[in-house]
């Protein structure tokens, strides 16, 4: 079944691509099988992350960016992520609303995705879904994260170019110089720039970047742009800067560095999750309980117990 | 039973009426019941709805319609689904709600709508219907 789906997807069948994304989302074993089979068809797309706080206009901006990319004939993929409720396991995915006009465009594929327990702003299956869209033939893949706060930075391990949207009046300059989100942006967008305080926000961001003047001598100094996503103002310029950043990555060879870092992170993540799963399978519930009891009675500490667990389930001495 | 968090439901409002309170309430209730709900907004064309079903690989399509145009729009959606190779009740469960007279409801159910829920239908009935009928879809049965 999977082989047939892959064959159809490679020929540009949207339904097959959609089905494959569901499989990588729902089933770890099938995800591994699919990625193994499509991997050699991937690596061509420009992956652009759009991140920023809730309500900063990510989806609306994306709607306009799709238009700009389509105007150049690019095949566009979108993965828009919204949170799963930690209480019910359900999710209400609403990013699509703002992009619906592109639904019927054969050159656009929009997929909503729920976080399903992941906390870094993306879903566990996001990277594999990107691979499906890459193999399907997308030139650009936009990944819209959930609305983020200060530390949900998984997008930096996924995207070639990270666009961070913000809006005027979110906080004082201390918010801007705090570590985290601001460290991952290649492009800052001050959206809703018709609101009071837009110039002040741009100024604060510039100041923040000035602190690291030395760093920018031999690397990309993040660009700061003002947009009004609702009317589309500034979006053309934003699309140009996104492309400029891609050019920069290619010209300087930094793209290779990024891909290396990303591949390393990905393998590490897969290894941890494989180990976790094997431990779950190998360790008998009563064996684990036996250890837990020992921890509670202070006969053994949690670190030593973890060593026992690893040794028993993987057969390696740690 | 199919795990609800792996059931993807599109809630769509075709046609020109802009009243989506009902659709939003249903979308939220289905989310609270643990489903993954994709809300596509108001004034959707049948083409947009069908393309969304395909790209989202939706298992359930919930159509909310209050404008009175249900006998035009819903058959069109069913036809477009078939044209794109999606068989109602086999590949996707189509349910409808809103102001739909009983005679029309019957006819729509003959055309391929799995169930029409009239005004005031308890949300529990809709949830139970989905739980019960989702297993009939090909992707969940084999």
ipTM of the complex: 0.94
Phi, psi dihedrals of residue B135, rounded to the nearest 5°: -65, -15
The tens digit of pLDDT for each residue in A71-89 reads 999 999 999 999 999 999 9
Question: A19 near B57, Cβ under 8 Å?
Answer: yes
- Rounded Cα–Cα distance for residues A219 and A230 (Å): 32
3-state helix, strand, coil in chain B (%, to 5): 45, 20, 35
pTM, to two decimals: 0.93
Q: Do B55 and A110 touch (CB under 8 A)?
A: yes
Q: For residue range A20-54, what is the model confidence (pLDDT) as tens digits? A: 999 999 988 999 999 999 999 999 999 999 999 89
The yes/no answer on whether domain A42-252 falls in CATH 3.40.50.300 is yes
How confident is the prediction for chain A on average, in pLDDT? 91
Minimal Cα distance from A106: which residue of B? B51
| Domain layout of chain B by residue ranges | 4-141
Q: What 3 state SS string does chain A have?
A: CHHHHHHHHHCCCHHHHHHHHHHHHHCHHHHHHHHHHHHHHCCCCEEEEEECCCCCCHHHHHHHHHHHHHHCCCCEEEEEEECECCCCCCEEECHHHHHHHHCCCCCEEEEEEECCCCCCCCCCCHHHHHHHHHHHCCCEEEEECCCCCCCCCHHHHCCCEEEEEECCCCCCHHHHHCCCHHHCCCEEEECCCCCCCHHHHHHHHHHHHHCCCCHHHHCCCCEEEECECCCCECHHHHHHHHHHHHHHHHHHCHHHHHHHHHHHHHHHHHHHHHHHHHHHHHCCHHHHHHHHHHHHCCCCCHHHHHHHHHHHHHCCCC
Which residue on chain B is closest to A103 by alpha carbon? B48
- Search chain A and give the residue with CA nearest B56: A111
Task: Please determine, for residue A289, whether its predicted confidence score (pLDDT) is greater than 80.
Answer: yes
Domain ranges of chain A: 42-252, 266-314
Closest approach of B55 to chain A, Cα-based (Å)? 5
B33 → closest Cβ in A22, A84, A90: A90
Bridge partners of residue A91, in order along the sequence: A84, B36
B39 interfacial to chain A (CB closer than 8 Å): yes
Q: Give whole-number Cα distances, B7 to A86, A262, B86, B139, in Å.
A: 17, 31, 17, 11
Residue B32 in contact with partner chain A when CB distance is under 8 A: yes
CB within 8 Å: A100 and B54: no
Q: Would you identify the CATH topology of the domain B4-141?
A: Rossmann fold (3.40.50)
Chain B residues whose CB is inside 8 A of the A103 CB are: 47-48, 51-52, 55
Tell me the pLDDT tens digit for each residue of B61-110.
999 998 889 999 999 999 999 999 999 999 999 999 989 999 999 999 99
Q: Give the residue-averaged pLDDT of A218-243.
A: 96
Mutate which: A22, A112, A136, vs B, most B CBs within 10 A: A112
Angstroms from A116 CA to nearest CA on chain B? 8
Q: What average pLDDT does range B20-29 have in this prediction?
A: 91
């Amino acid at each position: 079944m999977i082989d047939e789906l892959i064959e159809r997807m490679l020929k540009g069948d949207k339904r097959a691509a959609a089905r494959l994304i569901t499989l990588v989302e729902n089933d770890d074993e099938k995800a591994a099988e699919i990625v193994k089979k499509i991997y050699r068809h991937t690596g061509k797309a420009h992956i652009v992350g759009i991140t920023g706080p809730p309500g900063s206009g990510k989806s609306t901006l994306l709607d306009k960016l799709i238009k700009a990319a389509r105007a150049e004939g690019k095949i566009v993929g979108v993965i828009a992520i919204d949170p799963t409720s930690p209480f019910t396991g359900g999710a209400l995915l609403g990013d699509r609303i703002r992009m619906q006009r592109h639904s019927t465009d054969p050159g656009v594929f929009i997929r909503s995705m729920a976080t399903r327990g992941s906390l870094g702003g993306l879903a566990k299956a996001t990277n594999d879904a990107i691979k499906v869209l890459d193999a399907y033939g997308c030139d650009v893949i936009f990944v819209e994260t959930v609305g983020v706060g200060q530390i949900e930075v998984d997008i930096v391990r996924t995207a070639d170019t990270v666009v961070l949207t913000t809006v005027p009046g979110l906080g004082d300059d201390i918010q801007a110089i705090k570590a985290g989100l601001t460290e991952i942006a290649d492009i800052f967008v001050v959206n809703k720039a018709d609101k009071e305080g837009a110039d002040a926000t741009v100024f604060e961001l510039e100041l923040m970047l000035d602190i690291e003047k030395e760093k920018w001598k031999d690397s990309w100094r993040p660009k700061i742009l003002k947009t009004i996503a609702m009317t589309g103002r500034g979006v053309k310029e934003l699309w140009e800067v996104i492309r400029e950043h891609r050019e920069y990555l290619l010209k300087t060879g930094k793209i290779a560095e990024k891909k290396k870092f990303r591949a390393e992170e990905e393998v590490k993540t897969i290894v941890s999750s494989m180990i976790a799963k094997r431990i779950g399978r190998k360790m008998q519930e009563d064996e684990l309980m036996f250890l837990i009891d020992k921890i509670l009675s202070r006969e053994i500490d949690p670190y030593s117990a973890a060593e026992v667990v690893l040794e028993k389930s993987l057969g390696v001495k740690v | 039973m199919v795990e609800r968090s792996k059931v993807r439901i599109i809630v769509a409002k075709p046609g020109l009426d802009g009243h989506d309170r009902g659709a939003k309430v249903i979308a939220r209730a289905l989310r609270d019941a643990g489903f993954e709900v994709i809300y596509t907004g108001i004034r959707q064309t049948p083409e947009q709805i069908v393309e969304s079903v395909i790209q989202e690989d939706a298992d359930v399509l919930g159509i909310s319609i209050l404008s009175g145009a249900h006998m035009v729009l819903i058959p069109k959606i069913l036809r477009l689904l078939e044209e794109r190779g999606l068989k109602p009740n086999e590949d996707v469960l189509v349910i409808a709600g809103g102001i739909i007279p009983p005679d029309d409801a019957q006819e729509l159910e003959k055309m391929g709508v799995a169930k029409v829920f009239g005004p005031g239908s308890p949300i529990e009935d809709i949830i139970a219907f989905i739980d019960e009928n989702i297993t009939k879809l090909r992707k969940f049965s084999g």
